[in-house]
Amino acid sequence: MKVTVFSTKPYDRLFLDRAAARGVELLYSESRLSLDTAALAEGSEAVCAFVNDELSRPVMERLAQLGVRLVALRSAGFNNVDLEAAAEIGIAVARVPAYSPHAVAEHTMAIILSLNRKIHRAYNRVREGNFALDGLLGFDLNGKTMGIVGTGKIGAVLAKIAAGFGCRLLGHDIRPNPECEALGMRYVEREELFRQSDILSLNCPLTPETRHMISADTLPLLKPGVMLINTSRGAVIDAHAAIAGLKDGTIGSLGLDVYEEEADLFFEDLSNEVLRDDVFARLLTFPNVLITGHQAFFTREALDAIAETTIGNIVSFRDSGKLLHAVTVDYLAAKT
Ligand code: NAD
């Protein structure tokens, strides 16, 4: 079975090649999947896609014309897929529901710790012979309230880590997680979580309900000076509102691994190019903002698991027509 793999980097090849010796022929492309690049899938029965590949209705119609019957996502999130269109067109969609919640939760804590203790600034200062501590003041995590929106696989691991630091845990989810309750997490309405959280971490999927959860309207609900962390999907935060919140101090510090318009930036070396995104450029000017380029998932264990599950999804579809980890249009409805 031939599979065109979009948005591939050398590290993807390394792990997918290791997992793929099961009669699956992987045709690698560095291109991001879009209407302009869909033709690269000609001759393949499946495409393998990542977080910033476009799987809109027009793209899937084009893929179907080329004979593609399966989209195998190398991600857990599937907000970039028009599931209704996939169902109507007759393209099956599979994903990797869990590869390493530890990878993302640990990176989330790394951002929290770095941002709080200004490790990113201290690193540069010390290298320049500046040992002054002004501007590096942090706070104890012990005793602070960590609010987590979305207490699924990643949120639950983060809760466990935060409990280890002595944080008080608040959660908000459409489906409370008994694992988190066992850690002492108290589930509250979103507004209350916003009001009480010293550290607010967003770990829910991007859905119509969670898009721009942090916006000009909800900014006034946040505890003044909150540390806001987003390692879920960029559009859960309206970046314009975040900038306003940073300017007036509503947001005390901001840690991001994702950004609404990241598709044109992340995963590429653009260091020799002019940055054209003025909103992103403004975010980079704040001393209390720390951004990583969608790297929370990026551990050996996670890449191994992503490759294994992705090839498993493809082989199962080829051999039995069944998907091990299907994503269907009723997925979100079933979760509510
Ligand atoms: P999960 O499905 O296990 O958990 C998501 C949780 O969010 C569930 O408990 C669900 O009930 C809850 N939820 C859904 N809608 C909600 C709403 N409106 N309000 C509050 N809670 C809501 O998923 P997961 O594996 O924990 O991943 C969470 C998200 O993290 C993914 O959807 C993905 O967008 C993101 N992610 C990011 C990276 C990265 O590298 N930065 C890697 C993997 C996943």
Catalytic site includes residue 294: yes
Model confidence at 55, in pLDDT bands (50, 70, 90)? Answer: very high
Residues 185 and 106 placed together within one structural domain of the fold: yes
Q: Which candidate in 233, 276, 282, 300 is catalytic?
A: 233
**Ligand 1 centroid from CA 305, angstroms:** 18
Looking at the structure, do residues 38 and 119 belong to the same domain, yes or no?
A: no
Q: What is the distance between the alpha carbons of residues 268 and 309, in angstroms, rounded to a whole number?
A: 25
Residue 29 and residue 81 in one domain: yes
Q: Is 212 among the residues known to form the active site?
A: no
One domain for residues 67 and 199: no
pTM of the entire predicted model: 0.93
- 118: Cβ contacts below 8 Å, ≥ 6 apart: 135, 136, 138
| Residues 281 and 322 occupy one common structural domain | no
Pocket test for ligand 1, best of 173, 193, 327, 331 (most atoms within 8 A of CB): 173
pLDDT exceeds cutoff 60 at 301 = yes
Tell me which residue range forms the domain holding 72.
2-99+300-334
Look-up: residue for tokens 């970046």? 239
For position 245, what pLDDT does the model report? 98
Closest-CA residue, ligand 1 atom 9, reads: 152
On average, the pLDDT of the chain sits at 95
CATH number of the domain residue 111 falls in = 3.40.50.720
User: Angle formed by the axes of helices 153-164 and 101-117, to 10°?
Assistant: 50
Q: Using the mean position of ligand 1's atoms as its centre, give its distance from the Cα of residue 237 in Å.
A: 14
- On whether both 124 and 106 belong to a single domain, the answer is yes
Pocket of ligand 1 (CB under 6 A): 76-77, 98, 101, 104, 149-155, 172-175, 203-207, 209-210, 231-233, 257-258, 294, 296-297, 335
Nearest-Å Rg of the Cα atoms of the chain is: 21
66-75 pLDDT per residue, tens:
999 999 999 9
CA distance 233 to 173: 16
ipTM summary value: 0.99
Predicted local distance difference test score (pLDDT) of residue 19: 82
Same domain, 105 and 59: no
Please indicate whether residue 262 is annotated as part of the active site: yes
Alpha-carbon dihedral sign for residues 259, 163, 299, 23: negative
CA of 30 to the centre of ligand 1 (A): 27
Provide CB contacts within 8 A for 330, sequence distance 6+.
none
Cβ-based neighbour number of residue 184 at 10 Å: 11
Q: Do both 280 and 327 map to the same domain?
A: no
Same domain, 307 and 184: no
Rounded distance between C-alpha atoms, residue 145 and residue 148, angstroms = 10
**The predicted structure's pLDDT at residue 20:** 82
DSSP state of 38: G
pLDDT band per the 50, 70, 90 thresholds, residue 64: very high
β-pairing, 25-28 vs 251-256, is: unpaired
Average pLDDT over residues 217-238: 98
Average pLDDT score over residue span 17-30: 89
Residues 23 and 132 in one domain: no
Tens-digit pLDDT profile for residues 144-197: 999 999 999 999 999 999 999 999 999 999 999 999 999 999 999 999 999 999
Indicate whether 66 and 84 sit together in one domain.
yes
* 9 and 47 part of one domain: yes
Token duo for residue 191: 């507004």
Model pLDDT, residue 23: 85
Domain count, the chain: 2
